[in-house]
Structure 1
């Protein structure tokens, strides 16, 4: 069984590589930082292939899938993504567009291409890394929250379409809260809440994917939040989110 992981050079992508390697999966590790990918490949107890690519570029994204597609590819994990903190009036437009290309367009392209192949074969797994942010409006990280909402809703809709086809292909979304990774450094924030251990989240994600879950929410606090949000209007959720976002200090 071969798995493609984007954003594999650090954080959740790296930890999911270890989780899949323990299950005997052959891995295709993709990220922009080739040196870090090769260092990771040397640590993993399985066959690894390294592809340095920037999935925010549509052509590179399509070339990546062309390079890995085949009957032995059974898992695609869309993990590459990043955030940006600040008021929408002030944040950099070009950086936001790169975020949209990474968090949305790349996920859309790889999900579309993979699910078309998987559906023809009648099996396969796609894990899209969304976020608990996908359940909420996100003042002070408006674009990031919106991208994760897209990933979550796309995944849920596709899952229902596959159900109506009686397809065995499994598509799921991982929706963690804060995780101890490089995310906060890239986004320019420090979390107001303690982050979950990346290894724990990765293992829960992989287990959930193979178990056929639609949405995976690690941690009791985030599970409680997803339930509680149903009892509050979006206007109140936006105010609450702003309050917690405001506690994040720009580094």
Structure 2
């Protein structure tokens, strides 16, 4: 059995790789930084296939899946992604379009290809890394929040289609709040809330995925937030989110 993990060079992706290796999975590790992938592969007790690719590029994304696919591919983890902080009128358009390519298009493409293959043999697991941001409007990180909402809703919809088909294929969205990873530096933010440990988030994500959960929200605070949002209008949620976002420090 084998797993494909994008964004495996750091953070949640790296921890998921470690935990899947501990479960005995052979791994296909993908990220742009080949040196980081080789360092990770050297520490893992399983066979690792390294593919240095930029999933923002559709051609590279398709080639990645072609290289990874096979009857032994059982798990696909769409973890690659990044954020961008700032007013929508001021953030760089090219960076936002690249973020859409990584956070949305690549997830959509790899989910589509994997689901089609997995359904044919009626087995397989897909974990899409969304965010607690996917439950909210996100002023000052508008494109990032919107993209994570896409990932969450896509995952929920595909899950229901699979349920209706009585398919054994499982798909799950991971929706963490702040996590102690490189995300903060890349996005140019400093969270006011303490970040969760990436190892813990990865463990909860895999436990939920293999248990057949549709979404995993690690941490009591984020669970409470996702529950409470049902009782607050979106317009008010946007104001509350802006208040917290405004406390973040851009680059």
TM-score (norm 2): 0.99
- In the alignment, structure 2 segments of 5+ residues that lack a partner are none
Q: What RMSD over aligned residues (CA atoms) do the two structures have, in Å? A: 0.4
Deviation, structure 1 residue 20: 0.5
Q: Distance in 2 between matches of 1:193 and 1:229?
A: 18
**Pair 1:74-2:74 in alignment:** yes
Report the secondary structure of 2:59's partner residue: helix
Query: By how many angstroms is 1:206 displaced?
Result: 0.8
- State the shift of 1:32 in Å: 0.2
In the other structure, the counterpart of 1:226 is 226
In structure 2, how many angstroms separate the alpha carbons of the residues matched to 1:42 and 1:55?
23
What secondary structure, in the 3-state scheme, does the structure 1 residue paired with 2:86 have?
coil
Query: What is the alpha-carbon distance in structure 1 between the residues aligned to residue 85 and residue 176 of structure 2?
Result: 18
Distance 2:250 2:105 in 1: 27
Name structure 1 gaps, 5 residues minimum.
none
Runs of 4+ in structure 1 off by over 3 angstroms are none
Partner of residue 102, structure 1: 102
Q: State the distance in 2 between where 1:158 and 1:184 align.
A: 30
Deviation at 1:42, TM superposition (A): 0.2
Superposed, which structure 2 residues align to 1:164-175 within 5 Å?
A: 164-175=164-175
- Taking the aligned partners of 2:77 and 2:250, their CA distance within structure 1 comes to 30
Matched with 2:37 is 37
Question: Which whole-Å CA distance do the structure 2 matches of 1:66 and 1:48 have between them?
Answer: 16
Deviation at 1:183, TM superposition (A): 0.1
Tell me, yes or no, if structure 1 residue 140 matches structure 2 residue 140.
yes
> 1:152 aligned to 2:152?
yes
Q: Does 1:64 align with 2:33?
A: no
Count of aligned residue pairs for this structure pair: 251
Q: For 1:184 and 1:44, how far apart are their aligned partners in 2?
A: 27
| Partner residue in 2 for 1:54 | 54
Q: Distance in 1 between matches of 2:206 and 2:163?
A: 21
SS in 1 for 2:30: strand
Provide, for residues 17-55 of structure 1, a one-character-per-residue CA deviation record: whole Å limited to 9, x for no partner: 011011000000000000110000001111111000000
Mapped partners of 1:82, 1:250: distance in 2: 15
TM-score (norm 1): 0.99
Q: Who is 2:117 aligned against?
A: 117
CA distance, structure 1, for counterparts of residue 126 and residue 250 of structure 2 = 34
**1:68 offset after TM fit, Å?**
0.8
Structure 2 partner of 1:211: 211
**How far apart are 1:106 and its partner, in Å?**
0.2
Q: Distance in 1 between matches of 2:27 and 2:192?
A: 34
In 2, Cα distance between the equivalents of 1:52 and 1:210? 27
